[in-house]
């Protein structure tokens, strides 16, 4: 059985001591009541729900998995009851607009809640997570009729949402999709023009399930007059059951699950092949404007998937620490540490400690980075000053591919390190560690593989608006280094940050220059560049953390803060040096990769 307790102390540290949530978010219009006291109370309840309701279902849900028979998908035992408790507790509408029944709380709180859910039961979390993404897209691009009819049900959680993008022949290259939408001259009960949607979508998470009375699919399709490629994509809302004028359920629509996938992990989350046969749907946003709406869904989903990696890593870490403290094997190299016992706990061994500290340093750094981005999401949505909103939007855009790719890489690496700490016991199902590895692997693939995230970073985010987004990260890091590089107490943190930041600046210039000359140069450097960026971002987080702790009088540095300082030292000395190798690899260029003939593979 895996071990988990919500890391509320670390979350509070990020919100209060590192980022001053109260000044940045609780002062925004509409969030005045979302004080730290309120957030703390909500998170305490969220922790209880996740630890007591979701965690016990995680292992059994993986063993049982979803079943498919006669077009019906059934989730594992206990999932329906847990989902009912989830919706009755108001968790589905936490950050949704009160006009549609939501609680109107900040996105920062939503992202933290998602971490707790994914730490305890990733498969369960996929269902409400996709529904929230559907809500966001519809709230932003849907007509007033569609919003009035569908959003209250999504907010309540009685209806679920999905994203139907991928087709058997079309994954990342959505311009190749074949799903068609044809106007049929009719309208919904509230006057929304209707279309007939025909096509097949694959890898649809939650495409069919028994948790909700209805499912709302957001489907990419092409109209008859669509221009070729991605400029011809439109977005449609296709419900499983049509809704009557009073909001009650009408007849079954022409959409059905053809099968579910047998997967490596997330067994309790249904992954479906969905067949649309002249299904009634409604246009969301403008005709041929589906890509814009899709990116709203995808960017939110990519941040959410990054949080999935963080959540799984936290559970792997806590489980590995618990095991390392209990498992007795051998003696410490410097002599017995527990002579009263037949052997020392494996926590005394340097390699075990290195694995655990690697997990801890990356997890806590990623959590802080994720909360920084989440706060920027709230500022971008609510701040009264347009320039401030734009700066926050730039930061979110820049860091979204880093959060998605690095957090999920880190989650998989942490889960594997957890298995290593357990040794052979981690490889068998009894302790639950191998499930974390299997579950973590998908996060590096869906919502755009991590290689695609790297290409998005170097190909779209860096050059956009003449590199404007880069300034949102580069300027605060440069200012921090300038302000504190002369402080002796901070030197062990600021100087490594400065060196890594210098490498990142040089690598950025190299990618920009070489990429203009030859796009394959930028492509060859992309993944290494993203990881270099991520490691530097975490170094900035850890240097700021060290300053917060060192600014406290020694008498006020409790064990929590001392541990933070020790973890920061580990990060700077044992993890951050990886940036040297990444920098060298980037500068090696594309030739070692692209000069290999196809026939040699």
Which pLDDT tens digit goes with each residue over 240-276?
999 887 778 999 999 999 999 999 999 999 999 999 9
pLDDT band with cut points at 50, 70 and 90 for residue 96: very high
Residue 447 is assigned to a structural domain of this protein? no
Q: Which domain holds residue 513?
A: 463-595
pLDDT, position 544: 98
What is the C-alpha separation between 163 and 165, in angstroms, rounded? 6
Instruction: Let me know if residue 550 belongs to a domain.
Output: yes
What value, to the nearest 5°, has the Cα angle with vertex 351 and ends 347 and 354? Answer: 85
- 577 lies in some domain: yes
Could you tell me what percent of the chain has a pLDDT over 90?
90
pLDDT at 98: 97
Computed on alpha carbons and rounded to an integer, the radius of gyration of the chain in Å comes to 24
The mean pLDDT of 450-469, rounded to a whole number, is 94
**In sequence order, which residues have a C-beta less than 8 Å from that of residue 253 and are 6 or more positions away?**
238, 239, 240, 241, 242, 279, 280
Q: 48-57, 129-138, 178-187: which has the minimum mean pLDDT?
A: 178-187
Task: State how far the Cα of 28 lies from the Cα of 389, in Å rounded to an integer.
Answer: 11
Once rounded to an integer, what is the mean pLDDT over residues 156-167?
95
What is the predicted pLDDT for the residue at 437? 98
Q: What is the pLDDT averaged over residues 87-97?
A: 97
Confidence of residue 478 (pLDDT cuts 50, 70, 90): very high
| 46 pLDDT tier (thresholds 50, 70, 90) | very high
CA distances from 560 to 19, 204, 218, 572 (A): 17, 42, 45, 19
Residue 233 pLDDT exceeds 90:
yes
For the record, the structure tokens of 553 come out as: 């009088």
Of the listed ranges 45-59, 63-77, 175-189, 570-584, the least confidently predicted one is: 175-189
Contact (Cβ atoms closer than 8 angstroms) between residue 526 and residue 596 = no
Report the chain's mean pLDDT, rounded to a whole number: 95
Structural domain includes residue 380: no
Q: Which of 364, 391, 447, 521 is catalytic?
A: 447
Note the pLDDT of residue 74.
Answer: 98
The Cα 325–Cα 332 span in angstroms is 13
Q: What is the DSSP letter of 52?
A: I
Query: Token pair 């300027």 is at which residue?
Result: 475
**In angstroms, how far is CA 471 from the centroid of its own chain?**
23
More confident residue, 51 or 554: 51
**Predicted confidence (pLDDT) at residue 371 exceeds the cutoff of 90:** yes
> Is the Cβ–Cβ distance between 589 and 514 less than 8 Å?
yes
Residue 302: inside a domain, yes or no? no
- What average pLDDT does range 516-541 have in this prediction? 96
Tokens representing 17 are: 């001591």
d(CA 379, CA 384): 9
562 occurs within a structural domain: yes
CA–CA gap between residue 116 and residue 454 (Å, rounded): 27
Sign of CA dihedral 278, 282, 284, 287: positive
CA dihedral for 375, 46, 76, 444, sign (positive or negative): positive
Higher-scoring residue by pLDDT: 190, 7: 7
Question: In whole angstroms, how far apart are CA 405 and each of 302, 310, 376, 452, 530?
Answer: 9, 11, 19, 9, 8
Q: How far apart, in whole angstroms, are the C-alpha atoms of residue 189 and residue 211?
A: 26
DSSP 8-state code for residue 598: G
| HSE, side-chain direction, 13 A CA sphere, residue 110 | 28
Identify which has the larger pLDDT, 279 or 300.
279
Over range 373-380, report the average pLDDT: 98
pLDDT (0 to 100) of residue 124: 98
Q: Helix 55-64 to helix 79-88 angle, to the nearest 10 degrees?
A: 140
- Answer whether residue 581 is part of any domain: yes
pLDDT for res 482: 97
Sign of the torsion angle spanned by Cα atoms 338, 340, 342, 345: negative
Residue 31's alpha-carbon distances to 36, 50, 104, in angstroms, are: 11, 25, 8
Q: Output the pLDDT for position 105.
A: 98
Q: Is residue 351 a contact partner of residue 332, using CB atoms and an 8 Å limit? A: no
Q: How many domains does the chain have?
A: 1
What pLDDT, in 10s, does the model give residues 315-330?
Answer: 999 999 999 999 999 9
Q: Is the pLDDT of residue 104 over 80?
A: yes
Distances (CA, A) of 72 to 23, 201, 211, 253, 278: 49, 17, 12, 15, 20
102, part of any domain: no
Rounded Cα distance, 129 and 411, in Å? 18
When pLDDT is cut at 50, 70 and 90, the band that residue 331 belongs to is very high
Give yes or no: 430 in active site. Answer: no
63-83: pLDDT as tens digits: 999 999 999 999 999 999 999
């Amino acid at each position: 059985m895996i071990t988990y307790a919500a890391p509320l102390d670390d979350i509070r540290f990020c919100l209060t001591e590192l980022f001053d949530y109260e000044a940045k978010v609780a002062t925004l219009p509409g969030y005045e009541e979302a004080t730290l006291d309120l957030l703390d109370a909500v998170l305490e309840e969220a922790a209880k729900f996740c630890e007591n309701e979701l965690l016990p279902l995680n292992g059994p849900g993986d063993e049982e998995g979803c079943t498919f028979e006669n077009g019906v998908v059934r989730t594992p035992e206990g999932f329906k009851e847990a989902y009912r408790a989830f919706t009755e507790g108001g968790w589905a509408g936490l950050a949704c607009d009160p006009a549609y029944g939501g609680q109107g709380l900040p996105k920062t709180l939503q992202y933290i809640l998602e971490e707790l859910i994914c730490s305890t039961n990733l498969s369960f979390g996929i269902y409400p997570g996709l529904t929230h993404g559907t809500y966001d897209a519809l709230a932003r691009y849907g007509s007033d009729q569609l919003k009035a009819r569908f959003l209250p049900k999504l907010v309540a959680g009685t209806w679920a949402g999905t994203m139907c993008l991928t087709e058997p022949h079309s994954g990342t290259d959505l311009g190749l999709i074949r799903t068609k939408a044809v106007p049929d001259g009719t309208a919904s009960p509230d006057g929304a023009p209707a279309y007939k949607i025909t096509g097949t979508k694959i890898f649809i998470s939650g495409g069919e399930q028994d948790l909700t009375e209805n499912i709302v699919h957001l489907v990419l399709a092409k109209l008859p007059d669509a221009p070729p490629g991605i400029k011809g994509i439109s977005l449609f809302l296709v419900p499983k059951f049509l809704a009557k004028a009073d909001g009650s359920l009408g007849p079954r629509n022409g959409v059905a699950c053809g099968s579910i996938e047998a997967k490596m992990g997330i067994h309790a989350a249904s992954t479906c092949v969905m067949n649309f046969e002249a299904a009634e749907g409604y246009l969301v946003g403008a005709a041929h404007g589906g890509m814009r709406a899709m990116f709203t869904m995808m960017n939110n989903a990519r941040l959410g998937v990054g949080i999935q990696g963080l959540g799984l890593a936290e559970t792997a870490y806590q489980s590995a620490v618990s095991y390392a403290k209990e498992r007795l094997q051998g003696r410490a190299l410097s002599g017995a540490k527990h002579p009263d016992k037949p052997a020392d706990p494996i926590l005394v061994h340097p390699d075990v400690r290195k694995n655990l500290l690697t997990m801890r340093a990356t997890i806590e750094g990623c959590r802080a980075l994720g909360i920084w981005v989440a706060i920027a999401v709230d500022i971008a949505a609510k701040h009264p000053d347009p320039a401030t909103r734009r700066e926050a939007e730039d930061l979110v855009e820049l860091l979204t591919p880093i959060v998605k790719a690095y957090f999920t890489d880190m989650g998989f690496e942490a889960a594997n390190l957890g298995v290593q700490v357990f040794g052979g016991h981690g490889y068998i199902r009894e302790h639950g560690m191998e499930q974390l590895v299997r579950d973590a692997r998908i996060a590096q693939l869906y919502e755009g593989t991590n290689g695609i995230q790297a290409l998005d970073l170097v190909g779209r985010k860096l050059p956009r608006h003449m590199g404007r987004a880069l300034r949102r990260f580069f300027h605060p890091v440069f200012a921090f280094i300038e302000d504190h590089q002369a402080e002796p107490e901070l030197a062990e943190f600021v100087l490594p940050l400065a060196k890594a930041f210098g490498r990142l600046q040089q690598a950025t210039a190299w990618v920009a220059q070489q990429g203009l000359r030859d796009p394959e140069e930028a492509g060859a450097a992309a993944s290494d560049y993203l990881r270099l960026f991520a490691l530097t971002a975490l170094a900035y987080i850890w240097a700021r953390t060290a300053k917060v702790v060192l600014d406290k009088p020694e008498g006020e540095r409790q064990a929590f803060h001392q541990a933070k300082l020790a973890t920061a030292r580990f990060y700077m000395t044992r993890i951050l040096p990886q940036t040297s190798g990444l920098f060298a690899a980037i500068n090696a260029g594309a030739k070692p990769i692209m000069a290999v003939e196809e026939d040699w593979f």
